Amino acid sequence: MLLVVLAVLVVVADRVGLLVAERQIAKRVQSSQDLDRRPSVDIEGFPFFTQVLANRYPTVHLTAQDLMVGSSDRRVRLADLDARLHDVKTIDNFSGVSVETADGMAVLSYAELSRALGVTLSYAGGGRVQGSSSVEVLGQTVTGTASAAVGVAGGDELTFSSVRVGVPQAGISIPKEVTDQLSSLFESKLSLRGLPFHLRIQRLVADEDGVHIAATARGLTLS
């Protein structure tokens, strides 16, 4: 019976220590990354005290909500960031944290993308986004559509490519100036600068719920 009680006490102490460490890391991350809200932190693995003794936490799972990124004149909100920090070590009793590698996923909604670019955008299927615009063709108002693939430039900029233009009305020949006008829906680029942990975007993928962002970073110190 005594052994059972001791085992329970050890597990309880382990879990209490885990919660304290998670709060400390969350506080440090919020401060170092200038986040409006404290992130949720989950130190993975059991038992926790063996990680403390080694001062090495193989994986720390972190989620942050309502992140603002972009340039000073055009900011966009990411609904959430789901990040994993690998090979984490603490510095001077949690006064700082070093991270070997990090990877994160986030989603930019079409509502936010539309607001930033000033045109209503939605999912076109096949990993493409689409928008529409009304143009004049031979005295008639025709609503045309344009779709584009999304890509990344420089590790922090959303770009568009492979633009396709069309109109639903059959038998209408579209002048070049009209296709140019529809194509111009995707001339803009959008900065996504400012992801936490100096994450650099590796891939952007358009899906039904928005543009999915995959990013990585290496050799971080959070103080």
Which pair of tokens denotes residue 62? Answer: 């972190």
Which pair of tokens denotes residue 129? Answer: 């986004």
* pLDDT higher than threshold 50 for residue 3: no
The reported pLDDT for the residue numbered 13 is 47
Q: Which of 171, 194, 164 is nearest to 74 (CA)?
A: 194
Please name the amino acid found at residue 61: H
pLDDT greater at residue 214 or residue 142: 214
pLDDT greater at residue 14 or residue 77: 77
pLDDT greater at residue 186 or residue 86: 86
In this prediction, what percent of the chain has a pLDDT beyond 90? 26
The reported pLDDT for the residue numbered 206 is 95
**Contacts of 147-151 spanning 24+ positions with Cβ under 8 A:** 148/185, 148/186, 149/206, 150/204, 150/205, 150/206, 150/211, 151/204
Which pLDDT tens digit goes with each residue over 18-50?
666 667 777 777 776 777 778 888 877 676 667
* pLDDT higher than threshold 60 for residue 14: no
In this prediction, what percent of the chain has a pLDDT beyond 70? 73
Q: Rounded distance, CA 219 to CA 98, Å?
A: 7
Residue range 76-99: average pLDDT?
A: 82
Query: Are the CB atoms for 64 and 188 separated by under 8 Å?
Result: no
Which pLDDT tens digit goes with each residue over 140-167?
676 778 889 999 999 899 999 898 887 6
pLDDT greater at residue 213 or residue 33: 213
The reported pLDDT for the residue numbered 192 is 93
When the pLDDT of each residue in the chain is averaged and rounded to a whole number, the result is: 79
Question: Residue ranges of the domains in the chain?
Answer: 2-106+218-222, 111-191
* pLDDT higher than threshold 50 for residue 78: yes
Entry pTM: 0.81
Which pLDDT tens digit goes with each residue over 168-199?
555 555 666 667 777 777 888 899 998 888 89
